[in-house]
Amino acid sequence: MKVLVVLSALVALCAGSAVPLVPGDNSHYVEGESRFIWMPDGEGVPHLVDLQEPVDEDFLRNRNGANNQYWLYTRWNPTNPQVIVHGNANTIWSSNYVASRPLKVIVHGWNSDGNSAINPLVRDAFLAVSDANVIVVDWRSLANGLYATAVAGVPSVGQFLGNFLVWLINTAGGNWNNVHLVGFSLGAHVVGTAGRTAGGWPVRVTGLDPAGPLWSGNGNAINGNAGTYVECIHTDGGLLGIFNPSGNADFYPNGGRNPQPGCWLSTCSHSRAYELFAATVHHNHLNGRLCGNINQAQNNQCTGGTLLMGNGNLAKRGNGIYGLTTGASWPY
């Protein structure tokens, strides 16, 4: 019996440490046990990540949230950003920022930048339906480092973003009831920290498949204290995303796990979160049903009251776990 236990432990250890060979295939991954996982960059290309790699402290000191860039887009400059520099009021006055407009803030994830796929997709959706100030946060200087180092830097990126938003509104005007923060993967935890840094004043915070690896039990993860209404959309839970509820309302399209319809790989299911969100901003058409528990959500067995997933409605409120089914292609 003892030999069997030892052999089982060795098999588990080898499985957890084995290097997966097929790019994007995370079928080997066991949360909390596996050492390696495939993660997509901003264009969906998978990269192999070692979750046991040490944090690069020197890199972290030089590339923290102070390096954040804030790119403003409006209907007057829908594709060419105006850079607002924290502490330099002239960069606001010379921009198209208008205090009375809604303020939408978009934050990318790991190995990405302000031009990565999430940003134009969600930015264009917001500008198509409302005359808004849209700020894309580019934190590439830290996000493009080792994954574990980027995870360690998320609190700094979020704190600098939160302080920037406080400064922007105090300097140029605005209303926290018009502020909506949206973050994908690691960016979901960034907007969670930013919202808490700003005292929970943002009226809406949306986490798009909040990053899972190295986030279990992490006190810096997105939670319901980030804003008046915090919503999370889970599409790759237990792999690249967190599966457990993380906001006031949590949506689990198609069970909240890989594979999402039309996806074969976990990396595709992870990115589906921002695609679904952008579609709901345009069409506001994906209705969740309230679940009695997370198992019902995972098995698409929810039959309770309805709540629309995603969208840009600043007055939206809700609580609980919601399940729904979607299509395999836009607008899902």
Q: Is the CATH number of domain 20-324 3.40.50.1820?
A: yes
Averaged pLDDT, groups of 10, the chain, 332 residues long: 33 59 94 95 95 96 95 98 98 98 98 97 98 98 97 98 98 98 98 98 98 96 98 98 97 98 95 98 98 97 98 98 98 98
> The tokens 């930013």 sit on which residue?
194
**Widest distance between CA atoms in the chain:** 75
Distance CA 65, CA 220 (A): 15
Tell me the torsion sign for CA atoms 321, 102, 187, 108: positive
Phi, psi of 161 (to 5 degrees): -65, -45
DSSP string, 252-303: EEGGGSSPPTT--SHHHHHHHHHHHHHHHHHH---EEEE-SSHHHHHTT---
pLDDT at 10: 32
pLDDT at 11: 36
pTM for the structure as a whole: 0.94
Angle at 38 between CA 327 and CA 140, to 5 degrees: 95
CA quadruple 282, 169, 177, 138: dihedral sign: positive
CA distances (Å), 130 to each of 70, 199, 312, in order?
A: 20, 26, 9
Q: What pLDDT shows up at residue 5?
A: 32
Residue 322 is predicted with a pLDDT of: 98
Gap between the Cα atoms of 215 and 162, Å rounded: 21
From residue 13, give the alpha-carbon distance in Å to each of 2, 31, 148, 175, 212: 17, 13, 21, 52, 21
The DSSP symbol for 84 reads E
The CA radius of gyration of the chain, in Å to the nearest whole number, is 20
Q: Which residues have a catalytic role annotated?
A: 185, 209, 270
